[in-house]
A and B are shown apart, each in its own frame.
Chain A
Amino acid sequence: MFGKTTKLSRRLVLSMAAAAVSVGMTMPLSSTSAADLEKIHFLIPGGAGGGWDGTARGTGEALTKSGLLGSASFENMSGGGGGKAIAHLIETAERQGDTLMVNSTPIVIRSLTKVFPQSFRDLVPVAGVIGDYAAFVVPADSKYKSFSEVVADFKADPKSVKIAGGSARGSMDHLVAAQAFKAAGGDPKAVKYIPYDAGGKAMAGLLSGETALLSTGLSEALELERSGQVRILAMTGENRIDDAPNIPTLTEQGIDATFVNWRGFFAAPGTSKEKVAAYNATLEKMYDTPEWETVRARNGWVEVFQPADVFYTFLEEQEGIVGDLMKELGFL
């Protein structure tokens, strides 16, 4: 309602609920039983109520309530698209032994575009915790029945396929669309991406007919589909998912493109291997607890657990793909 002032991130809708527990206050949660880890200080690179905030507070809540963690504290440090918190974590590394910073796909993109000078290599990647695939959506009455039909039109006249997304040019929604059309044999530079400032507005744009296709997160797309106004043509997972078995992947339509928007945790540089292993063991146990299930279901998150070593390789891989794409698109 208040336009520019409410910079709602597109995934905010669901994560807001968890964030709301304490608007901006550092609230220690504690449990009495013997815990795996004594304490974690969650550093959140954005303000209260964003996706990062929800992930950190949700994870902290599940860990403490299930008794895996003694106490959790939270600190919001917004600024610089997350850069301020990264710089802070590196500068004060020796005091940050128990700190985990939450981040997501934008850390890869923003370090490529030099929003901040550091990259995930300057930190210690601990684990990817949750994730969301990307999806391509058309209005229910659209002429498109499959993604290949969209590709055919795109190849004939790229301008005829305007693609809406809930974030700026060069950010996730745009890159995923470019990646998909490139893998389908089109020119990614010709992708006509129309940015909106939130997912809901991009959806309104799609339904108003000013764009033909919407590039968004799968969980958001599923909600929209449930309301009966849109159809999901494809998603970017490697395999179909249990929650939505009827939605085809891009790969099975012959388009070799996958993408996952992850959210995960990073520790300060110099954190020992043992500590990282301990974090991983605790996080892995967390997935089986009912407390986590409550938090996960409430937020509609998809579990994509990537332990430290897998996570690091994955980040390098994502950086490569995204970097190449951004170079090709002229963003780098």
Chain B
Amino acid sequence: MLDGILQGLSTAASPVNLLMVFVGCFAGTFIGMLPGLGPISAIALMIPITYGFDPATGMILMAGVYYGAIFGGSTSAILINAPGVAGTVATSFDGYPLAKQGHAGKALAIAAYSSFSGGTIAAIFLLFAAPALASVSLSFQSADYFALMVLGLTAVSAFAGKGKFLIAVLMTLFGLMLSTIGTDQTAGLQRFTFGSLDLIDGISFLLLAMATFALSEALMVVLKPEKVSREAEEATKGKLGSMKVSKEEVKDLAPVVGRSSILGFFIGVLPGAGATIASFLAYGMERSFASAKEKLKFGKGSIRGLAAPETANNAACSGSFVPLLTLGIPGSGTTAVMLGALISYGVQPGPRLFVEQPAVFWSVIISMYIGNIILLVLNLPLIPYIARLLALPKQILTPLILFFSLIGVYLVSFNTFDIHIMVIVAIIAIIFRLINFPLAPMLLGFILGGMMEDNLRRALAISDGELSFLWERPITASILGITIVVLLAPLVQNIIDIRRKKALKVNDGEG
């Protein structure tokens, strides 16, 4: 194995390959920043360029593009609240508030450090445990995925401020309902399409995310111009580029990054879960671990809330290479494209890759490290400039956001109907914003809804309609058990708190 690692290292560290990583990271970052162009499109764009390359070089370029695009996606989520891919939705929850408060540079820096740590820690796991983990990734059945999605939904509690729990649940349900529009995956029947051809494929995630987050946010600026004095605004602009992360913050974030990396990697290993679930679970987990005081900051600009999903998202991306390389199973869209690329190089991923073409196997993994490092080196100096984007006057920035979010959606489907739907959704989203209904739970419900339903129905079909699948398998039962604990813990905590307060009051009265 050591031979393999050294061989991979020497391949990856050749000047040509280093240049490729560099070019890839750079190109990926910019492609990823455009809403609608995520890692999938970025990699797909690179494939024709890499024909004729040797497999290792091609994969190295693609790994660079991949990491670059993920980081680029986080950038638009943080700066303009436009999460172009589902994996960065959770990043925008706290990243965007931070940017709005004038900490754009810091938020981007934390995102970069977290991505780097998540990616690197996961790559280490990959290096040592990939072959062993292959069997883990196959032990998950539909029932277990269903349980995992239910656990993911508990992240909704993060948006339930005081007395808002019902509203958050309501919005989640609304999101779940939206996810049922279109052709039902299981039975192939149309639901809520009202006979419209355009609705047969359902509402796309990108459309919903752009309309509810980016578009409505930009329009809110027009509706409710913030009354900030010129001087205050100037002061904020000066700070935008500052990337200072204090020692206390680093100390605070280290355990977050550690936990989220492990969680993210293991979720990523499962072919049916992936970066989105990983980021939501990490976000929810961090919130459960946070102190009562820190909890309040979640969703309003908590650096923990930013670091957790960013780390997990990247760790999961590395994790998804386990089933790809060791089993030849693409667990995600991006890895499916990579599989296509590998095959076109004449490399067949699967259990034999490790034995038959160790050079490719190891150089892919090593290139992931190198991609991570180059990304950090490349992007840290760029952050102050990228962050300055927010310093653009609102009259210019707002139309730009509108333009990019609309065009991003249109370029994927080439369907003007999508633009109409987007405007309607944006108007509904603005109404929700005005009456203070949180939109994040809606998106959460929408993203998880489809996968949750498919897995539930599959599990039911496999168990011939018996509900026993919920407790028959230890994995399913334990995940559901954790879900119940997560849901009940705050309730129990509340009851204890109330009792304590009452007890205190009684004591006071006596005193």
Contacts and interface: CB of A to CB of B under 8 A. Distances in A.
Interface of A: 1-8, 12-14, 16-17, 19-21, 23-24, 47-49, 75-81, 83-84, 87, 113, 115-116, 159, 162, 168-171, 192, 194-198, 200-201, 203-205, 207-211, 223-224, 226-229, 298, 300, 331
B361 to A, nearest CB: 13
Contacts of A198: 330, 336
Nearest to A193: B461
Interface stretch (B222-230, B241-249, B344-352): B344-352
A116 B197 contact: yes
A226 B464 CA distance: 33
B330 A13 contact: yes
B79 interface: no
Nearest to B324: A200
A84 B332 contact: no
23 contacts: A2-B205, A3-B447, A5-B85, A5-B333, A13-B340, A14-B343, A16-B44, A17-B341, A23-B411, A80-B201, A83-B200, A113-B188, A115-B200, A162-B461, A194-B462, A196-B454, A196-B458, A198-B330, A204-B138, A207-B138, A210-B462, A223-B328, A227-B328
Contacts of B334: 1
B414 A6 contact: no
B87 A1 contact: yes
Contacts of B349: 227
A78 B336 contact: no
B32 interface: no
B185 interface: yes
Given A2-B333, A16-B336, A83-B197, A77 B462 contact: no
Contacts of A331: 188
B7 interface: no
Nearest to B454: A197
Nearest to A76: B414
Contacts of B277: 3
Contact of B415 (A49, A78, A115, A207): A78
A226 B327 CA distance: 11
Interface stretch (B121-129, B212-220, B267-275): B267-275
B414 A8 contact: no
A79 B197 contact: yes
A169 B141 CA distance: 19
B185 A3 contact: no
B148 to A, nearest CB: 11
Contact of A227 (B41, B137, B348, B414): B348
B311 interface: no
Contact of A2 (B38, B187, B190): B38
A329 to B, nearest CB: 11
B335 A1 contact: yes
A204 B274 contact: no
Contacts of A194: 458, 461-462
Contacts of A227: 327-328, 348-353
A84 B268 CA distance: 36
A16 B44 CA distance: 7
B200 A23 contact: no
B348 to A, nearest CB: 5
Nearest to B348: A226
A84 B86 contact: no
B320 interface: yes
Given A13-B340, A205-B141, A2 B275 contact: yes
B163 interface: no
B332 A80 contact: no
A80 B327 contact: no
A195 B185 contact: yes
A221 B139 CA distance: 21
Given A78-B413, A208-B139, A209-B141, 20 more contacts: A1-B316, A2-B274, A7-B201, A13-B337, A14-B340, A17-B341, A20-B47, A23-B411, A49-B40, A79-B200, A115-B190, A115-B200, A169-B188, A195-B185, A198-B336, A200-B271, A204-B271, A204-B329, A226-B348, A300-B343
Interface in B267-301: 268, 271-272, 274-277
Nearest to A49: B44
A245 to B, nearest CB: 19
Interface in B7-53: 37-41, 44-48, 51
A208 B455 CA distance: 14
B198 A84 contact: yes
Contact of A78 (B201, B344, B351, B447): B201
B275 A1 contact: yes
A17 B339 contact: no
Contacts of B87: 1-2
5 nearest A-B pairs in the assembled complex, by CB-CB distance? A227-B350, A80-B197, A1-B332, A6-B333, A5-B205
B89 to A, nearest CB: 10
Nearest to B204: A5
Contacts of B268: 1
Interface residues of B, number: 84
Given A21-B48, A192-B461, A227-B349, A4 B447 contact: yes
A28 B100 CA distance: 43
A280 B454 CA distance: 42
B185 to A, nearest CB: 5
Given A3-B276, A87-B197, A200-B271, A210 B412 contact: no
A245 B396 CA distance: 64
B128 to A, nearest CB: 22
B274 A1 contact: yes
Interface string B183-195: 1111110100000
A23 B458 contact: no
A60 to B, nearest CB: 14
A162 B462 contact: yes
A1 B352 contact: no
A2 to B, nearest CB: 4
A84 B186 CA distance: 23
Interface string B350-386: 1111000000000000000000000000000000000
Contacts of A171: 188
Contacts of B139: 208
B333 A1 contact: yes
A2 B274 CA distance: 7
A224 B343 CA distance: 12
Contacts of B344: 14, 17, 298
A81 B200 contact: yes
B331 interface: yes
B204 A13 contact: no
Given A194-B461, A228-B352, A48 B412 contact: yes
B479 interface: no
Given A1-B332, A83-B200, A168 B183 contact: yes
Given A17-B48, A23-B44, A200 B415 contact: no
B48 A24 contact: no
A12 B201 contact: no
B438 interface: no
Contacts of A23: 37, 41, 44-45, 411
Max count, chain B CB within 10 A of own CB: residue among A76, A210, A223, A300: A210
B343 A223 contact: yes
Given A5-B447, A116-B197, A171-B188, A78 B414 contact: yes
A1 to B, nearest CB: 3
A21 B188 CA distance: 32
